[in-house]
Structure 1
Amino acid sequence: MASFKKQSTGWEYRIRYKDPITQKFKEKSQRGFETKKEAQVAAADAESKIAEGYEQTDIPLIVYLEEYVQEYKVGTVRKNTLIQHQNNIKNHIKPYFQSIMLREVKPIGYQKFLNHLAEKYSKSTVEIIHNTMNSALEKAVTLGKLEKNPCRGVTIKGSVKAKGLKFIESEHIPAFLRAAHQYGYIYWMFYRILIETGMRKGEAAALTWDDVDLKAGTITINKTLDFSAEDESELFGDTKTFNSERTIKISQSIIQDLKQHIKYQNQNKLAWKGSYKHKLNLVLCRDDGNFMPKSSLFNSFSRILKRAGLPSMPIHSLRHTHAVLLLEAGNDMKYVQERLGHGSMRITADVYSHVSKKIEESSMEKYEAHMKSILE
C-alpha cells in the first residue's frame, strides 16, 4: 500500500514491498508531483508493475538466456534447433554483452549489436541470432522481467548471398559418377544416392536398413546424423524440420544397386567379424559399419569434382541437382517440394525457378513455336 506525503518539492509516494526472489523488503518512491492526485495515479501504476514482477531483482542477461533455453526450449524444440540457440548465446551474444544485466539491454544498444554482426555475417545469419535473443526477451516481458522487449522494431542488415544456384548439369553427371567410382566405391554409392533422392548429406549418412523397403521401392527419411556426436547414443537426431520427414519412391536402378550393396556389406561383415558396427545398421557407411566422417565426405567430394573437371561446389549441390533433374523430367513444383521435404512450395519455387539451361531453352523453344503458329 502506498503512502503519500507533501514535500517542499511537491507530493511524494512511497511503496514498501517484498522482492519475490530475494524475499527482502524494498522501497520504491518518487517525488515532485504537483498534486496528490498525480502522485496517487503514479503510485497505482508502480504498484501494478510491482505486482506483475517488474520490480523484482534484475539478473545478468546471459544467466537469464541460459535459464530461458533450459526451461522453455529443452524438450520442446528439435535437437538441431536447441544446439543453434545454445551456440548463438555462447558464440555471439555472450562475447558481446558479457556481464550486462537483463534490464540494461536497450533498443539502441541492441541495434548496435546487430550492426556489429552484420559486418561479419550474412543477413540470414544475423536473423538467426536475432531470433534467439528476440524470442527470449519476448518471454521476459511475459514473465514480468521486462516492461518492453528492446529487440522489437530493429533493422537487420548483413550481406545477401547471390542467388546463383550451384548444381551439376545433367550432361556432366556421368563424368562425376565415374570419377566418384574411381575414387572409391562407397563414395560413388553415397553421392549416387544423393543425386537420385535429393536427401541432405546428414539424412543419407543416417539412413538405416530399417528405412529401406526394396520390395515397395521406397526410402523413409526420418532422422539425420549428428557428425559431432560424442557417442553412439547421440548419433541420430531429428530431421531439419517436421516436413523433412518423408517417404519417397526410388528408381529400379537404385533398387538393384542397393541389392548389390547388401552383398558388399555382407562381405565386410565377414571380414570385420565382431568389430563390425552391426548395431548402427547403416546403409551408407565405412567398411567397418561406422558412419562416414564429415571431413571424409567434404574432402572426397572436392577431389571428385576436380577429377571430373567440374567447378567447386558444396555437397548440398547434389540436392539441387536432384531437384533440377526432376524439373527437367517434367515434374511440377509441388512434387519437387514434397520429395525434398520443403515446408512450403514458395521455398521450392524461390530456389528452383529458372535454374536449368535445358528448362530455359525448352521454354523458349515452346514460346517460339507458339508465336510462329500465331503469326503464320
Structure 2
Amino acid sequence: MAQAMKFHQYFDQWMKLYKKDAVREVTYQKYQMTHRQLVMLAPELMMIDLSRLTYQQLLNDYAETHERQTTMDFHRHLKSSLIDALEEEYLTKDPTRKAIIKGIKQRQHKTKYLHQYELQGLLNELNLDDNVSWDYFILLVAKTGLRFAEALGVTPQDFDFTHQVLTINKTWDYKSHQMGFAPTKNKSSVRKVPLDWQTVIQFSQLTKNLPKDEPVFVNGKIYNDTVNHYLERLCKKAGIKVISVHGLRHTHASLLLYAGVSIASVARRLGHSNMTTTEHTYLHIIQELENQDNDKVMKHLASLV
C-alpha cells in the first residue's frame, strides 16, 4: 500500500515510472535532485501523514535556503507526483492545495558581458584559418547569440548563405552519455537568425567540404568547461575581463540593445519564449537606455519654447 510508504520512496517510484526515458536526461536529473532534497528534508515523512500542514512545512524548510523560483520548481515536481497519488486514491485530499511558495530574497545577478571594444579585442585574437576550431565556435556565438547547445547542434545545411540566415531547429545533447541531436529549449527557440555578410563568407568557406547533416563543431565528447577555459585564455591574452560562452550570448544581446534594436527583435533573435525573459535578463541595460531616452525627451520639450 502506498500509504505505508515514505513520501520520498513514493516520489522515487513515481519518477522512475513516469519520467525516466520520457523526458530529456537533463530534465530527469532535475527530478533526481528533487528526490535527493526530499530525502534530506523529510526522511521519515509517510504518505499517510501528508496534509496541507506537513506539506507546507516541507516547502518552508526548502525555502529557507532557496530562492522563490527554485522553491516553485521543487513544488511543481512534488505536486505532479501527489496529483497522481490522489487519482490513484493513495491520498484522500490534495495536500498541495493553496500551498504558499516562499523563498530567500532573490540575489542580484548582474549579467556579465563585454563592451564593444572588448569584444573587438577578443575577436582580434581568434585564429580563423581553414580548419574547424573553437575560434570559429566563439565567433559564431558572438555574432548570433546562440546558446551553447544550439551552436554545437549547427550543421552545414543549417546555413542558407544565399539568404544570409542560419536555421536553429535542434541542439546537441552534450550532457548525456548518448550524445546526439536533441530538441530546442522551447518552441520559440526554433528560429532563423540573420547573418552579416562577413560571417556568411567565413562559414561558407569553413563548411563547404564538411558533411551536410553532421555537427560542425562536434568531434567526440564535448565539455562546456573545455570551451570556457579556452575562451578564458583568449580573454586574458586580449587583456579584457574573462567571460563564459554564455557571456558571449549576453554580449551579443547587450550590444544590440545599445544599438537601438527593439526588445522584441532581440527576444526573437535569442529564442526567448517571451519578451519578459529578455526584459528581466537585461533590466539594467534597459533602465540605462530609458534614462538616455528621458534626457532626449526633456531636451526635445525644452526646445518647444
* TM-score grouping bracket, smaller chain normalisation: 0.7 to 0.9
Over the matched positions of the two proteins, sequence identity in percent amounts to 26
Instruction: Give, in angstroms, the shift of residue 201 of structure 1.
Output: 0.7
Larger radius of gyration: 1
The equivalent position to 1:143 in structure 2, one of 67, 79, 88, is: 88
**Which letter maps to 2:80?**
S
1:327–1:333 Cα contact (<8 Å) kept: yes
Name the SS of the counterpart of 1:98 in structure 2. Answer: coil
For the pair 1:351 / 2:281, whether they are aligned, the reply is yes
- Distance of aligned partners of 1:96 and 1:210 in 2 relative to their CA distance in 1, 3 Å threshold: farther
Query: 1:96-245 residue pairs with structure 2 within 5 A?
Result: 96-98=41-43, 100-152=45-97, 153-181=99-127, 186-231=133-178, 234-245=179-190
- The 1:306/1:170 distance shift into structure 2, 3 A limit, reads same
- Give the drift of 1:78: 4.8
Letter in 1 for 2:217: L
Q: Aligned partners of 1:291, 1:136: CA distance in 2, in Å?
A: 34
Deviations 1:255-277 (A, max 9, x none): 111023226xx5xx8xxxxxxxx
Q: Give CA deviations for 1:272-313 in whole Å, capped at 9, x if unaligned.
A: xxxxxx69721224xxx3354222112122333333333344
Correspondences of 1:49-128 after superposition (within 5 Å): 57-73=3-19, 77-89=23-35, 91-98=36-43, 100-128=45-73
The offset of 1:321, in angstroms, is: 1.6
Please tell me the residue identity of whatever aligns with 2:106: V
1:133 offset after TM fit, Å? 0.9
Cα-to-partner distance string for 1:99-149 (whole Å, 9 max, x where unaligned):
543222344443443344344433332322222112221332233222233
Tell which has more relative contact order, 1 or 2 (C-alpha 8 A, sep 6+).
2
Q: Partner of 1:308 in structure 2?
A: 238
TM-score by length of 2: 0.83
- Structure 2: which 5+ residue stretches go unaligned? none
Alignment pair present for 1:253 and 2:202: no
Partner of 1:52: none
Quote the Cα distance in structure 2 between the aligned partners of 1:262 and 1:209.
Answer: 6
Quote the offset at 1:358 in angstroms.
7.8
Change (3 A) 1:279 1:146: farther
1:331 equivalenced with 2:261 (yes/no) = yes
Cross-structure match for 2:215: 282
How many equivalent pairs are there? 302
| CA distance 1:254–1:346, change in 2 (3 Å) | same
Aligned-pair RMSD on alpha carbons?
A: 3.1
**Other structure's SS at 2:137 match:** helix
Conserved? CA contact 1:59–1:101, under 8 Å? yes
Partner SS for 1:248: strand
2:254 and 2:181 mapped to 1: Cα distance? 29
Residue type of the alignment partner of 2:47: L
Partner of 1:370: 300
CA distance in 1, matches of 2:127, 2:24: 36
* 8 Å Cα contact 1:201-1:315 kept in structure 2: yes
**C-alpha separation between the residues in 1 aligned to 2:111 and 2:225?**
23
| Larger strand fraction of residues | 1
Q: Secondary structure at the match of 2:133?
A: helix
AA partner of residue 29 (structure 2): I
How far the C-alpha of 1:210 sits from its partner, in A, is: 3.0
Query: For the Cα contact (< 8 Å) 1:337–1:344, is it kept in 2?
Result: yes
Relative to 1, partners in 2 of residues 1:245 and 1:298: Cα closer, same or farther, differing over 3 Å? same
List 4+ stretches of structure 1 deviating above 4 A: 74-79
